[in-house]
């Protein structure tokens, strides 16, 4: 996807603070952090949103969660707790249409959401 912001970040065409990279996934700090730790975990392969996920994407999405767990531990927020969010579609506040998992933590969060 030539005009996708996160594809450009993954390719290194737009600078970002990367915290993790492997053959399937890249993770970088959100430019407007909503918590002391706010990391976006993104598949290297472009998928618009959960709405267009297929069975083939299942292992990849599982891998996003395992990377989130690893990063939560590395950021020292695993014990205190953290939130994983996947905004899907405009009403949920999705602004970048390349599927991503928000990892948020480091301070108490309000509940419920919205
Ligand atoms: P969404 O609202 O689609 O769930 O999340 C998109 C996230 O991407 C937002 O939290 C926003 O702050 C973040 N973001 C937007 N542009 C950039 C950018 O250029 N670099 C980084 N690191 N994050 C971005
Ligand atoms: Zn993309």
User: Which residues make beta-bridge pairs with 41?
Assistant: 27, 101
3-class SS at 66? helix
User: Is residue 46 among the annotated active site residues?
Assistant: no
Q: What is the mean pLDDT of residues 50-71?
A: 98
Walk me through the domains of the chain, giving residue ranges and CATH numbers: 5-105 (3.30.428.10)
Ligand 1 atom at shortest distance from the alpha carbon of 94:
3
C-alpha atoms less than 13 angstroms from C-alpha of 80 in its C-beta half-sphere? 15
Question: Which tens digit of pLDDT belongs to each residue from 1-48?
Answer: 789 999 999 999 999 999 999 999 999 999 999 999 999 999 999 999
The answer to whether 112 and 43 are in contact (CB under 8 A) is: no
Ligand 1 atom at shortest distance from the alpha carbon of 34:
10
Say whether pLDDT at 99 is over 90: yes
Q: Exposed e or buried b for every residue in 49-64, given b needs 16+ CB within 10 A?
A: beeeeeeebeebeebb
Say whether pLDDT at 113 is over 90: no
Q: What is the mean pLDDT of residues 96-108?
A: 98
**pLDDT at 2 (0 to 100):** 81
The answer to whether 91 and 52 are in contact (CB under 8 A) is: no
Residues 6+ apart with CB under 8 A from 72: 37, 78, 82, 103, 105
Number of DSSP helices (H) and strands (E) in the chain, helices first: 2, 5
Residue 40 Cα to ligand 1 midpoint, Å, equals 8
**pLDDT at 105 (0 to 100):** 98
Which bound ligand lies closest to the C-alpha atom of 96?
1
């Amino acid at each position: 996807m030539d005009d996708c912001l996160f594809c450009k970040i993954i390719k290194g065409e737009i600078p970002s603070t990367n915290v993790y990279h492997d053959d399937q996934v890249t993770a970088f700090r959100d430019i407007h952090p909503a918590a002391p730790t706010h990391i976006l975990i993104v598949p290297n392969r472009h998928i618009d949103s959960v709405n267009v996920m297929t069975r083939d994407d299942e292992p990849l999405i599982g891998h996003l969660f395992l990377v989130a767990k690893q990063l939560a531990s590395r950021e020292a927020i695993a014990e205190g707790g953290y939130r994983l969010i996947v905004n899907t579609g405009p009403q949920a506040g999705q602004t970048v249409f390349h599927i991503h998992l928000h990892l948020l933590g480091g301070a108490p969060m309000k509940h419920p959401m919205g």
